[in-house]
Amino acid sequence: MEREKRVLFVDEDVNLVALVEASLARKGMAIFAVRTLDEAREALERGERYDFVLLSMRTPPVEEVRLLRRIRAEQPECAVVVMAGYGAINEAIVALKNGAVDYLLKPARPSQVLFALERTAERVARRGLSDALLLGHCRECRFSGVVAVSRRMRNVCHQVGTVANSNAPILLTGEVGTGKEIFSRTIHCLSPRRLNPYLKLSCGTLSPAQLEAQLFGSGDLEATDLRQPAVQGSPLITGGTLYLDEVAAMPVSIQARLVQALQEREIQGPDGVTTYGLDVRLVSSTRENLADLVDQGKFREDLYYKLNVVSINLPPLRRHPDDIIPLAEYFLDYYCDATGKRIRGFSAAVEEILTRYEWPGNVRELRNAVERAVIRARGDKVEVGDLPEEILPPQDPKVVHLRLEDRRLEAAEEALIEQVLAETKGNISKTADILGVSRGTLYNKMEKYKLRK
C-alpha cells in the first residue's frame, strides 16, 4: 500500500489552508500547515520529512529563498511549489532559479493547488526529481542572479512575465553584461516550452560554416564537428527555445536562409527533398542597434522585423543603482555556499564603493568582483582590501592599508597568492585571473615566494 504523501504548507491564509487541506485529504495527502517561516524552520529542525512543500512568497523574498535553499539541501527528494501574487512574478522567477519545481499565481483556488501538486508528483514519479526540476527552470540557469529591487528592473521583469507565455519572438537589447542570456533562459523557464530544450547559438563566435550547420543541420558532420544526425540536430525543430546570442554578427547569407525558413515554417533536409516543420521560439540578443545596421545594409530588414516582434531593453547597471547591493548580496550568498565560507555581508565602506562605481561591465563585472572578494576575504565581512583594485576609487586613503594588518606588503602578497592557489586547487589560469595578473607574472611571484601549485 502506498504511503500517504506529506505536504508542508507555509501560508498565513488560514481559509485557503483549510480548503486545500480538505482537497488533499481526499487525494490521500496529509497537510501540515504553518503560518510563519520560523514555524517551518522548527519543523525541519525536528527532522520532519516531506514529499512536497507549498511556500508562499513575499516581497522581497529573502527569507523564503533561504528556506527554499535549506529544503533543497537537507531534503533533496522534496519538491517545492511556490505561490506568488500577480504583482510578484520576479519572486517566482527567483524561486525557480533556486530549486522550486513549479509556481502558482495567487489568489489560487484549491483545485489549482491540487492540480499543481499532482502534476509535480507525476513528473517526479516519471522522471525523478532532478529532471522534474526542468518544469520550473533549466539546470543551467540555477545561478541566474535575477534580482530586481529598482522600479526600472521590476518593469523589465513585468515585461518578461507578460510575454513569456506566448510564442512571439523576442529581441533583447543592452550592453555587454546586462543579463541578456539570463533573461533568455528566464523566458524559456516561464514559457509552455520549458520542458523542451533551451539551446544557445553564439553568432559572434562560430564560423559561418559552423553556425549554418548548427542552425539548419548538415550532412558534413566532420567539418562542423556536430554529434547529432543531420537536421534532426537543428534547434529549429526541437519544440524548445533557441537563443541567438549577438544576432547582429550573423552573416547575411545565413540571415537569408533563416528568413526563408521562418516564412515557410519548415527547413529542408540534406537530401533536398525531405522537409521538417519548424517548432521553436526564437529569443535573440544584440548589443548593436539593429535598425542602424538595417539602414547600412548589414542586416536584413525582413529578418529584423521577424525577430523584433517584442523588444525588451536591459538597462546598464549604472542606470539602476538600487539593484547593486541586492545583486552583490545575492552573489555573496552564492559564492559563500560554493566555498563554504561564512561571510555576513559587506562593510559600510565597501557598500559605498560598490554603489558609486560605474560598472562598465555591468552585472557580469559585479559578479566577478564579488567572487574575487569572497576568495580574498578572511573575516566575517567583505572589507575594502578584499575588493579588486580596479573598482576602488582613485587615491582613496583606504587603499593604502589594503588590510595588511601590520605585515609587510610582500608578506601580504605571498599570503594572498597562497590563499587563492588553495581556493582554486592550484589552477594557474584561474588564480592569475582572480588576482588580475598574467600567468607569467604569477609564475614569477610563485618562484619568488617558493610557492607550489
Is the pLDDT reported for residue 28 higher than 50?
yes
Do 375 and 339 form a contact (C-beta atoms < 8 A)? yes
Q: Which class for 189: exposed (0-12), middle (13-18), buried (19 or more C-beta within 10 A)? A: buried
Sign of the alpha-carbon torsion through 370, 375, 377, 379: positive
- Whether 330 and 386 share a structural domain: yes
Do 210 and 223 form a contact (C-beta atoms < 8 A)? no
Do 347 and 381 form a contact (C-beta atoms < 8 A)? yes
Residue 342: per-residue pLDDT: 84
Q: How far is CA 171 from the centre of its chain?
A: 18
Q: Report how far residue 18's alpha carbon sits from residue 423's, in angstroms, rounded to the nearest whole number.
A: 50
> What's the mean pLDDT in 149-177?
89
Q: Which of 291, 313, 335 is the last residue of a domain?
A: 313
Q: Which of 105, 137, 169 is the last residue of a domain?
A: 137
Amino acid found at 47: G
Q: Which of 137, 166, 191 is the last residue of a domain?
A: 137
Residue 144: inside a domain: no
Is the pLDDT reported for residue 123 higher than 80?
no
201-205, 232-236, 321-325, 420-424: least confident range: 232-236
Do 282 and 234 form a contact (C-beta atoms < 8 A)? no
Is the pLDDT reported for residue 70 higher than 70?
yes
- Whether 173 and 221 share a structural domain: yes
- Whether 187 and 116 share a structural domain: no
Instruction: Give the single-character DSSP code of 396.
Output: -
Q: Which of the four pLDDT bands, split at 50, 70 and 90, describes residue 271?
A: low
Residue 289: inside a domain: yes
User: Between the CA of residue 62 and those of 88, 108, 128, 329, what are the distances in Å?
Assistant: 13, 22, 28, 10
User: Between the CA of residue 138 and those of 103, 168, 288, 368, what are the distances in Å?
Assistant: 14, 20, 28, 22
More confident residue, 271 or 433: 433
> What's the mean pLDDT in 310-338?
89
- Whether 123 and 170 share a structural domain: no
Q: What is the pTM of this model?
A: 0.57
User: Between the CA of residue 184 and those of 32, 160, 263, what are the distances in Å?
Assistant: 37, 9, 23
> What's the mean pLDDT in 115-143?
51
- Whether 226 and 326 share a structural domain: no
- Whether 282 and 162 share a structural domain: yes
User: Cis omega before residue 107 (within 30°)?
Assistant: yes
Q: Which of the four pLDDT bands, split at 50, 70 and 90, describes residue 78?
A: confident
What does the block give as the cell for 430?
A: 584561474
Q: Report how far residue 145's alpha carbon sits from residue 202's, in angstroms, rounded to the nearest whole number.
A: 21
Q: Return the closest-CA partner of residue 99 out of 141, 69, 135.
A: 69
- Whether 33 and 128 share a structural domain: yes
Is the pLDDT reported for residue 251 higher than 70?
yes
Residue 89: per-residue pLDDT: 63
- CATH number of the domain where residue 169 is located: 3.40.50.300
Residue 142: inside a domain: no
pLDDT in tens, 288-297: 999 999 999 9
Q: Report how far residue 371's alpha carbon sits from residue 335's, in angstroms, rounded to the nearest whole number.
A: 6
- CATH number of the domain where residue 51 is located: 3.40.50.2300
Count other Cβ atoms within 10 Å, centred on residue 205: 11
Residue 137: per-residue pLDDT: 37
Residue 146: inside a domain: no
Domains held by the chain: number: 3
User: Between the CA of residue 53 and those of 5, 56, 60, 95, 116, what are the distances in Å?
Assistant: 11, 10, 20, 13, 12
Which residues form the domain of 361? 318-449
16-30, 266-280, 325-339, 383-397: least confident range: 266-280
Cα–Cα–Cα angle for 434, 173, 57, rounded to 5 degrees: 75
Sheet holding 310-313, edge to edge: 198-202, 241-245, 281-286, 170-173, 310-313
Q: Report how far residue 188's alpha carbon sits from residue 194's, in angstroms, rounded to the nearest whole number.
A: 5
- Whether 289 and 161 share a structural domain: yes
- Whether 266 and 184 share a structural domain: yes
Which of 98-107, 118-127, 175-184, 404-413 shows the highest mean pLDDT? Answer: 175-184
